[in-house]
């Protein structure tokens, strides 16, 4: 498995910012977003995505999971390993606007959509959005496969230990069912909340 060079301090702990008195957003909702990368400087790309989402008006990154390295699931064979992470956001953007921003961030990091589940510089998926269940052509909430993917559940549990996926159960219990085969926590690298 490949590794990414990093100049950020090594921290085995998940960084969390607890700020229930955030006055920069009015009537925000909680959203959970998954990040993945298996091309280029994966760690740098994931950190860039964290920063880009934080720079979005109406979005605040409230928690960042540990980084996990995972084997590819589905899609073409012989893909490089992914780095994955999960973010918890507070946002005033509606789900459709958050999705547009997610796609814009992917595009900014050179995402190309040629092969379904193919290798990618960056994947930004909305996993859940507080109070919203949706089945639209471009967005399903909660994410339709999150409950069966260890590479989503393990970092989600880090970022939000009490998380629950509507209609499926608690993330901790779901991870216990699917197991963590092919998913490895990277203790040597970390993502950081924007200052």
Active site residues: 111, 120, 123, 125
Q: Which residues pair with 30 in a beta bridge?
A: 90
Alpha carbons 97 and 115: distance in angstroms, whole number:
25
Alpha carbons 110 and 23: distance in angstroms, whole number:
34
Token readout for 48 is: 């860039």
Alpha carbons 162 and 91: distance in angstroms, whole number:
19
Token readout for 185 is: 């926590």
Alpha carbons 172 and 95: distance in angstroms, whole number:
25
* Phi then psi dihedrals of residue 16, to 5 deg: -135, 140
Alpha carbons 81 and 36: distance in angstroms, whole number:
10
Alpha carbons 174 and 171: distance in angstroms, whole number:
5
């Amino acid at each position: 498995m490949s590794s990414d060079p990093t100049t950020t301090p090594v921290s085995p702990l998940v960084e969390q910012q607890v700020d229930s008195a955030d006055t920069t957003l009015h009537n925000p909702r909680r959203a959970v977003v998954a990040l993945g990368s298996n091309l280029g400087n994966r760690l740098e790309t994931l950190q860039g995505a964290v920063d880009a989402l934080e720079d979005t008006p109406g979005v605040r990154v409230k928690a960042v999971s540990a980084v996990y390295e995972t084997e590819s699931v589905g899609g073409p064979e012989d893909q490089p390993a992914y780095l994955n992470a999960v973010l918890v956001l507070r946002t005033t953007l509606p789900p459709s606007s958050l999705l547009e921003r997610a796609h814009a961030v992917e595009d900014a990091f050179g995402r190309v959509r040629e092969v379904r589940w193919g290798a990618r510089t960056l994947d930004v998926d909305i996993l859940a959005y507080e109070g919203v269940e949706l089945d639209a052509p471009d967005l399903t909430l909660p994410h339709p496969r999150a409950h069966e993917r260890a590479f989503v559940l393990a970092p989600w549990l880090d970022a939000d230990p009490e998380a629950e996926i509507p209609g499926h159960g608690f993330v901790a219990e779901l991870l216990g069912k699917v197991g963590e085969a092919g998913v490895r926590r990277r203790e040597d690298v970390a993502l950081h909340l924007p200052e």
